[in-house]
Amino acid sequence: MQINYRVLSVDETESSMIVRYWTDELSEKELSVDPKETNDTPAQCRTDYNLTVSDHSMSEEALHEFILSCAPVGWLDLKHKVKDPNVDTSLPEAKKLVGVDRSGVHIQNAPKLRAPLVEEDITALLSDPDAKVDGEVFLWRVRKKTNDGPWTHPPGYTHDELDSIVLPYARLQYTMCKGILGQPKVYFETSDVLVRQYRLASLDAARAFVAFAEDASIPAVKAMRDLAQRYADAAGTTYAPMETRLTRMV
């Protein structure tokens, strides 16, 4: 899901701002509070949120990550499902109960149904040394292709490249980055976006992973980067700088 947003206004007296969210599948017009909306940019949307900004030292990038982290991802995902004709959100069992009076006995300490987990973007916490998160997190390393060249990920490494560069890098990564849980999931998110998703034991483990992956002073990291660049250069393919996302299930 691609989250889009626009800052509509800033209130200096309240240290807050109004932010509007929409997605690649749900336009502003579709999210308007007016069901008869005709304008592509409505006066008011259901996703106009008031965000209070407590950290006044945030850079533009940090503020960008903060705004994205506040997006109502779970609700927008639900609206995507409602819009999708292949997903049944008609609530047939609930419809049977409309207008029907029912009663029952409340049982003390009975097991409670838990709401489905939703994914929360917490990327901004990677750069906040004081932030704490309980439990596992998911780290996403996102590679975007910027021209029509062929994908060079995953590359067809030679035996020599595997023995001298790839495997030493992987061994060092799993040695230095404690808290990696299992193998990463690698898949194409779109035709131009490749994702590697890592499940990590904690926020600290995610920070250590990113610090390792972005430290070109480590010979194994530099060798791995140079190898990837050689494949890209040979194919004539260009990529945007690697993006990092961090999420958790709540």
Residue 159 corresponds to which tokens in the numbers above?
């035996």
Long-range contacts of 187-190 (CB under 8 A, 24+ apart): 189/142
* Mean pLDDT split into 10-residue runs, the chain, 250 residues: 92 89 92 88 90 85 89 89 87 88 74 70 90 91 94 88 93 91 86 91 94 94 95 95 90
The domains of the chain are located at 1-85, 117-250
Query: What pLDDT was estimated at residue 5?
Result: 95
CATH of domain 117-250: 3.30.70
Say if CB 29 and CB 44 are below 8 A apart. no
CB atoms within 10 A of CB 205: 20
- Measure the CA–CA gap between 196 and 191, rounded to whole angstroms: 15
Helices (H), the chain: 60-69, 73-83, 92-95, 159-161, 167-176, 203-213, 219-235
Query: What pLDDT was estimated at residue 112?
Result: 63
Query: What pLDDT was estimated at residue 110?
Result: 64
User: Closest Cα partner for 19 from 30, 9, 34, 29?
Assistant: 9
Query: What pLDDT was estimated at residue 31?
Result: 92
Query: What pLDDT was estimated at residue 1?
Result: 80
- Measure the CA–CA gap between 60 and 62, rounded to whole angstroms: 6
Query: What pLDDT was estimated at residue 115?
Result: 62
Percentages (nearest 5) of helix, strand, coil residues in the chain = 30, 25, 45
